[in-house]
Amino acid sequence: MMSLYPVPIIMMTKQVPEVGSALESQALETGAVALAVWTPSGPNAAAKNGDAGLVRTVRAMSEVKVVRRRGQLSRATVSALETGSPPASASVRPPAPASSPKTATAAAPAAQVHNQTKPAGTQMAPSGRIEIVAIGASTGGPPVLQTILRGLSRPLPVPIVLVQHLSRGFQSSLISWLSDSTHLKIVVAQHGMPLEPGVVYLAPDDRHMALDSSGRVALNSDPPENGSRPSVSVLFRSVAQRYGPHAVGVLLTGMGRDGARELRLMRDKGAVTIAQDEETSVVHGMPGEAIKLKGARYILPPERISSVLEHHVTGSLNNVSAAPCR
């Protein structure tokens, strides 16, 4: 359907799915941009029950112009990346112009990817020692997360902390689907939990996730930030304060601006920062805002993010090269 009649798809069920539900996994695998539990009494009741996010998602998706997918970049073809100088003198490439302010795709054809190639024989210098990777995503995020995590040649030797905006009740299905398709250990973060290398920690339903001064998980029920709980901003801010230049921040597709200012904060602190490009974002709100704030050192499609993560975390140069920003 998505190849012939591309439309933004929100899959709805009448009850919270069972753990590992094949239906939800198949929906994510084939391009659904959001999952939600249907409230039979309608959107007004949904809003009263705390599901106003569903109403916002449906309204936003009705305005999204979906671009037909005709191909997908192979990680083996990745040969050029966007990089930048420190924020004070940064000149970050703006996203490519689109026919609509909201554009949705799952993978951009090679001809549509805007990158700068480097002179032959030059390579990107690795950053300092990285101790953690923080990722934030919203609408359209699950398939992008799968692409990035599955693109890693092996589990990273550092923990990954993740905020993915989801309707309540779908966390178990997301973890099951990502675990099965990436072969990584993915768990729901718990308060006070120490972080282990190679493990992905997903913020729980309706709780903010931060990291305390010792690097352990710190959950709280403070008011929503940027309309969300868990909030990417809360996570990124704590990572910036705790890890400074020893972190990587990745901001992916999503509505609004959750995490945008904090990605810039991470960059100001010396962290490596990545924003998903417009061409592959279902909604370029969050990463687009970060780019406007010059918070992104790299502006990349998902297929390239894996290589950049491995390079900065492990020093691997597989399929990685770069040129200065214009």
- The token duo for 171 is 């966390």
3-state SS assignment for residue 79:
coil
DSSP, res 63: T
DSSP, res 244: G
> Per the residue annotation, which of 258, 277, 284, 306 is the catalytic one?
258
C-alpha 308/C-alpha 10 separation (Å) is 31
Task: Indicate left, alpha or beta for 206 from its phi (over 0: left) and psi (-120 to 50: alpha).
Answer: left
> Per the residue annotation, which of 25, 127, 138, 321 is the catalytic one?
138
Report how far apart, in Å, the C-alpha atoms of 201 and of each of 48, 186, 310 are. 30, 6, 18
Query: What are residue 294's DSSP bridge partners?
Result: none
165 catalytic per annotation: yes
C-alpha 295/C-alpha 312 separation (Å) is 17
180 catalytic per annotation: no
> Per the residue annotation, which of 21, 51, 127, 165 is the catalytic one?
165
Q: State the residue for tokens 């040129």.
A: 323
Residue 299's contacts (CB-CB under 8 Å, 6 or more residues apart) are 82, 92, 93, 95, 274, 275, 276, 277, 287, 291
- Burial of residue 7 (CB within 10 Å: 0-12, 13-18, 19+) is middle
Rounded to the nearest 10 degrees, the angle between the axes of helix 141-150 and helix 22-29 is 80
- Burial of residue 71 (CB within 10 Å: 0-12, 13-18, 19+) is exposed
Closest-CA residue to 306 (of 297, 318, 294, 296): 318
| Planar angle of CA 177, 180, 185, nearest 5 degrees | 100
258 catalytic per annotation: yes
Catalytic (active-site) positions: 138, 165, 258
